[in-house]
Structure 1
Amino acid sequence: MKFALQAKDILRNYANILYLLIGITTGCVIGFLFGNQVESIKFIGDIFLNLLFTAIIPLVFFTIASSIANLQSSERLGKLFAIVAAVFLTTVIISAAVMMLVMLAFPIAQDDTLRNMAAQAALDNPVSSNSNTSATGLAQVLTVNDFSELMARKNMLALILFSLLVGFATLRAGEKGKAFATFLNSANEVMKQLLAIIMKIAPLGLGAYFAYQVGVFGPQLIGVYAHPLALYYITCAAYFFIFFSLYAYFSAGKQGVTVFWKNNLTPSMTAIGTCSSIATIPANLLGAEKMMVPAYIRNIVIPLGAPIHKDGSSMSSIIKLAVLFAMFGKDFSAPEMLFAIFGITVLVSIVAGGIPNGGYIGEVFAITAFGFPMEQALPVAMVIGTLVDPIATLLNANGDLIASMMVTRIAEGKHWLNSRLPS
């Protein structure tokens, strides 16, 4: 009976992913069976994507502005906050670097299937596909000269900067800005609910999209996704066991490794079972307590890390960008791209945490930053994000747990665990 209840809980937690996979799989089968005839249902996918594109501008604005407006300017985390930030940033960069090295060692080929997908989508959406070329300078990328231009997806970076400024302005307004902050919070919740409603038709919309893609480009698409997904899962598994052991060793030597893995099963299974870093917070807090992480550290690191510390998301960002670079014939290995990819990856891993449905805002931000046409790039990124979500969540949530040990090591010294172990 208990096993049956646990199975039901897992199915319920994964319902959205399962529905999406069923829709995509059904669409691929229909496209394979009926070939070019599926062009007649392409409009369903277009409707879904158009709804998403319509919601993106207000969603980005209210999400970022409300988050900044809700900061408490009186809070001073001081030295501990600096340590936490440094640990979070370091592990995100390391995880991204590991995935980057794997993608450089085993690059995704710029084959005809990917190029044909991009070319066909450019023909379907000539204006949108070319819109990203209008910005030629840094000022044009980060700002616009008319408020109405913020409503264009091609100016996403300018919108993000403007949203940050509005949030800080609201914070500076103090008591007089509280009413506006309340409006931002309310609007942010409304837009999240709107996104949740739109995502209800994602299985149908993406199913139609992939029926069209498979019908036009054939079953070779399976190989396009199989290669990066295999690399991602193998790399994440290696990162989980090898690097988390190294982090535990850094935290408290051999005893740290033993304590971490001995008390890590429940948090790991909770992360996989719920597919949510937020839902894993209670298990992580209990695990950190058993690992003897001090309360003042675990009660800050784990709740704070759940929305913003994303090792798995940083790695998935790399894999998505690698596929998109191959799709649009760009050189992923170009030295000048490394800093840009790392910077976008860090931002995406942070932004994605507070948004439902697989970090949609982060995906849009990355696509816009590198100038990929939204109509053909977004569905690809969404599908990859869905397929990698379980193991990405494991790394995201477990990363908070190991980070709490690392923060303790830096804050209290290398003998912190010995002083707490029974003699």
Structure 2
Amino acid sequence: MNNFFKNYKGIIYLLIGITAGSILGLIFGKKVEVLKPIGDIFLNFLFTAVVPLVFFAISSSLANLNPSNKLSRMMGVMSLVFLATVLISALLTILAIHIFPIHEQIKVIPLTEHIEKKPFGEEVTRLLTTGEFYELLSRKSMLAMIIFSVIIGFATLRAGEKAAAFTRFLHAGNEVFKQVFILIMKLGPIGLGAYFAYQVGVFGPQLFGTYARSLGLYYGVCAFYFVFFFSLYAFIAGGMKGLRRFWPANFIPSATSVGTCSSIATIPANLEACKRMGIPDYITNVSIPLGATLHKDGSSVSSIVKMAVVFAMFGKSFNSADVILLALGMTVLVSIVEGGIPNGGYVGELLFISAYGFPPEALPPAMIIGTLVDPMATLLNATGDNVATMLITRFTEGKNWLK
């Protein structure tokens, strides 16, 4: 019981804050608008911290790579498998949203600021670049800042020993802003509680139906993906023998991921599972640790669900090709970025809200959904690494790898 509370205490505290805020909103109605500034302060802290946090996380991880490591066939296959499975889970979720729409009865929240629609070419230019360096420091330029962070990371790597001091600076900045984010999130139960009280008091209890429908869709998609698509991947990797190897070996990692709510904590169980499946050590020892950070099928599903809900709540269409393409790109980006950051899912929410130009009011609904789906997301994130490693082995070692 103590371990359960330790692993889930962050979620428990957030749920207590959300519940308390909901009760206040139901009891006092629009009078709880007085609490909105508390929620605004919490959101402002988050938006202020996210830019340096993501910059240091990306640039330091690239700057600290070993430049002598060359991309092998296995690394190339691993990248393709990770990308493909994340996109497949996202596309499945988009299809599910169109079959079972969650937006039809969602009450639209009036926008507090106008979102200007520009031609697609201008939108791409604005998202990927800025005209001035200082504009990179704005949360509205998150994608441009991420691209710049990648360039900084590789430039530092190329500079070698001459940039040793700068490399240490990036590493130190990464550690510092991880702690900054952890400290800010300690205010989460109060900040989200205040904001949820405001939303329930002003927009009514119909919000609960919004979350119930989105959560039902999320857990349904995840259960389907976990059973059928993981079985399909295992079959592609090794036929019926692959299926018989995968599911028995995957039981302990599944229990570990749900019990710890952490992909990182599931790494030892995943390593042992891959050993039982007969996967070579040189693949397992690279794929599992990197997968825990970079490969997140569950987060992919939740990203699409959160985007669809936020779009519906603000009366915007989630059907156009440019919106869906950007959603897929953001999903891949979130999967990569959030792995090395505490409460990384919340950073992902900040990213897509900034990329689409939504106001701060869009963040609490996305954070609430992210909190409620975390156990199932972790199950898919963590155990998806095992079946992905099977696929990597199949395309690296050949179809007879099980023999």
Instruction: Please give the range of the TM-score, normalised by the shorter of the 2 chains.
Output: over 0.9
Aligned structure 1 segments of 4 or more residues deviating by more than 6 angstroms: 131-135
2:389 alignment partner in structure 1:
404
Whole-Å Cα distance in 1 between the matches of residues 362 and 313 of structure 2? 9
- Selected match of 1:259 from 245, 253, 261: 245
- Larger mean CA deviation between 246-255 and 145-154 belongs to 145-154
| Structure 1 letter corresponding to 2:379 | L
Deviation of residue 381 (structure 1)?
A: 1.3
| Structure 1 letter corresponding to 2:250 | N
1:195 alignment partner in structure 2:
181
| Structure 1 letter corresponding to 2:301 | M
Gaps of 5+ in 2: none
2:235 alignment partner in structure 1:
249
User: Is residue 2:69 matched to residue 1:84?
Assistant: no
Whole-Å Cα distance in 2 between the matches of residues 164 and 138 of structure 1? 18
2:171 alignment partner in structure 1:
185
Deviation of residue 359 (structure 1)?
A: 2.2
2:3 alignment partner in structure 1:
9
Deviation of residue 25 (structure 1)?
A: 0.9
Any conservation in 2 of the 1:285–1:302 contact (CA below 8 Å)? yes
TM-score using structure 2 length: 0.95
Deviations 1:391-421 (A, max 9, x none): 010000001011111111112222222x2xx
Q: How does 1:118-129 map to 2 (within 5 A)?
A: 118-119=110-111, 122=112, 126=113
1:4 alignment partner in structure 2:
none
1:342 alignment partner in structure 2:
328
Deviations 1:246-285 (A, max 9, x none): 1111111111111111111110000001111111000000
- Selected match of 1:24 from 18, 21, 42: 18
Any conservation in 2 of the 1:37–1:215 contact (CA below 8 Å)? yes
Question: How many positions carry a matched residue from both structures?
Answer: 402
1:168 alignment partner in structure 2:
154
- Larger mean CA deviation between 35-44 and 96-105 belongs to 35-44
Q: How does 1:12-411 map to 2 (within 5 A)?
A: 12-111=6-105, 113=107, 115=108, 117-119=109-111, 122=112, 126=113, 136=122, 138-373=124-359, 375-411=360-396
Deviation of residue 162 (structure 1)?
A: 1.8
Any conservation in 2 of the 1:358–1:389 contact (CA below 8 Å)? no
| Structure 1 letter corresponding to 2:264 | I
Deviations 1:301-329 (A, max 9, x none): 10110000011111111101111121222
Whole-Å Cα distance in 2 between the matches of residues 160 and 415 of structure 1? 41
| Structure 1 letter corresponding to 2:394 | R
Whole-Å Cα distance in 1 between the matches of residues 117 and 50 of structure 2? 16
Whole-Å Cα distance in 2 between the matches of residues 20 and 46 of structure 1? 16
- After superposition, the Cα gap between the structure-2 partners of 1:139 and 1:97, relative to the gap in structure 1 and judged at 3 Å, is closer
| Structure 2 letter corresponding to 1:239 | Y
Secondary structure in 1 matching 2:373: helix
Deviation of residue 118 (structure 1)?
A: 3.7
Secondary structure in 2 matching 1:9: helix
Identity across aligned pairs (percent)?
A: 56
Any conservation in 2 of the 1:285–1:299 contact (CA below 8 Å)? yes
Whole-Å Cα distance in 2 between the matches of residues 50 and 137 of structure 1? 25
- Larger mean CA deviation between 200-209 and 253-262 belongs to 253-262
1:3 alignment partner in structure 2:
none
Deviations 1:191-214 (A, max 9, x none): 110000000010010000000111
Gaps of 5+ in 1: 1-6
- After superposition, the Cα gap between the structure-2 partners of 1:152 and 1:249, relative to the gap in structure 1 and judged at 3 Å, is same
Any conservation in 2 of the 1:358–1:385 contact (CA below 8 Å)? no
Whole-Å Cα distance in 1 between the matches of residues 261 and 50 of structure 2? 24
Secondary structure in 2 matching 1:14: helix
